[in-house]
Amino acid sequence: SQFYTIYVQDAAGKSFAISEVRDSKVYENDPASQPLQFSITNSTTTSLTVAVANPSKAGVINYNWAIYRVDGSQDGDYITNDNDIPSSTSGGIITINSGKQGVKPLVSGQQYYLYLAQSGPNGLQSQTRNARITFTQPGGGEVEPPVGGPIQWGVVPTGLKTGQDIPTDILYMQNEHLRIGLNPKLGFSIYEAYHADDPNTQLVNDADYGRQWQYAYYAHPTTGYKPNGKDPGHPNWDGIGYDPIQAGDMCAGSQVLQYKYDQASNMIYFRTRPQLWGYCNIAAPCYVDTWIRIVGNFVEFRNILYNERDNDPQYVNLPRGQDIGGAFTNGKYYESNVYMGNKPWTDGPIVARKILYDFPLDYYVVGPKHPDGQWVYSDGGDYGRTLKFYNPERWATLRNPESGRYVGLWSQSPTFNHQTGGREQGKWDGQYGGPYVTIGTMQEPATLAKRTILDYEYTYMIGGNPQIMRNYAYTKRDFKNVIDWNFSTGTSDWSMNNQAQAEPPFDGSWYAPGDQHQMNRVSPDIAVDASKYTHVQVRMAVGGNQQKAGISFLKRKDNGLLYDHDDIPYQFDVIADGQMRTYEIDLRTNPNYGGILYRIYLDVFGQPQPGRWSRVEFVKGIYRP
């Protein structure tokens, strides 16, 4: 028989064979815990039958496995089994197959997420959702992890440099169109950016550690948050809360833990431990893996956040918007060129507008109002304003009217923003700490659970023009922009709708108690053409005294405003016997169904009371002619 060794990469980037899982963490081999070995007794293109041996836990722990692809696919790309696996010295028999969501083969060398639940006398004891595994298929015996080789998108490479081998000077990446400088003292954020034909004009407004081109994550609590007992570095930042950003905090840059640069492919991978913005010298309890590659006029990014807030007593499980892919440019890029109509992917008109003056007032964040009636930000007038808008094609550009040059951004989220500031009346001059214009994108809403994995992609354009940016966006029309979510090991970027609750375990489905709160789940913002789907399937189980559930689709009105939409609701009967069932809803029964869908709500109706609960396994759209 063949032997598979499962290698796991820990938070420090070290690879080792799985030994055991304790307290949601993977530990290295020790005398009391031997590696799990898999003796392959039979294999096909879609399944493995294996004997699992773990003599250190004989007769005590049962294992339940689920394996998910790292590449973010949501079309049934997970390998799982539904049965517990008894530990024994001889090996419990297990079949790992394509499970309940279609037939997907195991791929040699492909990276997967590993989910492992341990069951004992007291039921579910612990789990891990953030281990990465790679299956190797040797002809026999054991195989060591590969060393060296090119960088693969979304795969942590081998041959990493760490410690003193990490550079201290800016690392430049470039091609015939652009040049960027990554600052290793600031988490390898983009510290410099230039058009190739204008190498002396810096595009990045790098006045402080918050203005590099970078990611910024947000979670609760906000006001009164004191990490390690420390107050914010300045009273103005009381209320920023949990906010890891790539470049650093008010006093210190973020640390790069490991990296690999492949000049031949113009690609880099690195892992950063971000700082908490608003504080001084406070590293966030998380790390972020980042891949960057340059292709033509585009600088492509993929960030995977691994939150580690298990020991944070101030943690609150509530959603906040995630500022991922923000760019502070110098102030001369003050003309927006973008399409914001409600007929995306039809080459609709691209409209040029001066950010301070040319948008209708309701586009500015000072208006429209949030549904609760409060302004989101104050209006800075000519000094500075914030625009927040919905863009179903998921791209935007800024133009410098003096030079005619462009910068742009594509994001997997359709929610974009521009912000102006730092300028004197009537002046746009200055780069370093002077006037600025931002181009950014928000993922809303999103909950960073204690051990969240948030996988997000975006792309900057330097040079080019709006049509080139649009053409690029069209190639990514369906990227994470489909009605297809699986909740077996996590929320898939969904959130509970403004309800604080204990972080639920994910043991094959998303559990929510209904004894104190409504069980209302909400999707991330999307931009889906309703004509692609005629039905939606919801696989769920409910318990307690409840008979109805509902799913609602929010449809954009044709004005680009953030909060202006029509609601398309559906109700369906549920059987509250605790059994998992697939419910199918015909979307054509509502005459208002159509247009561009931007958010989905899934609700189990009824008032909170003891004994109420629900579990959701997936939400999937279907088209039937």
Q: Which domains does the chain have, with CATH numbers?
A: 2-134 (2.60.40), 171-475 (2.70.98.10), 484-622 (2.60.120.260)
CA distances from 349 to 97, 343, 464, 467 (A): 48, 10, 18, 10
pLDDT above 80 for 320: yes
Alpha carbon distance 495, 513 (integer Å): 14
- Of 18-22, 59-63, 204-208, 501-505, which one has max mean pLDDT? 204-208
pLDDT above 60 for 102: no
Alpha carbon distance 283, 292 (integer Å): 23
- Of 5-19, 231-245, 349-363, which one has max mean pLDDT? 231-245
Amino acid code (one letter) for 237: W
pLDDT digits (tens, 9 = 90+) for 256-303: 999 999 988 899 999 999 999 999 999 999 999 999 999 999 999 999
Confidence at residue 241, expressed as pLDDT on a 0 to 100 scale:
92
Q: Which of 175, 200, 202 is nearest to 191 (CA)?
A: 202
pLDDT above 90 for 528: yes
pLDDT above 60 for 530: yes
User: Hey, is 223 helix, strand or coil?
Assistant: coil
pLDDT digits (tens, 9 = 90+) for 456-505: 999 999 999 999 999 999 999 988 899 999 988 778 888 887 565 555 66
Q: What is the mean pLDDT of residues 68-82?
A: 42
pLDDT above 80 for 168: yes
Burial class (CB in 10 A: 0-12, 13-18, 19+), 502: exposed
pTM of the full structure: 0.76
Alpha carbon distance 197, 435 (integer Å): 23
3-state secondary structure 247-277: CECCCCECEEEEEEEECCCCEEEEEEECEEC
Strand partners, 572: 549
pLDDT above 80 for 445: no
Residues whose CB falls within 8 Å of the CB of residue 557, separated by 6 or more in sequence, listed in order: 342, 564, 565, 566
CA 86 to chain centre: 34
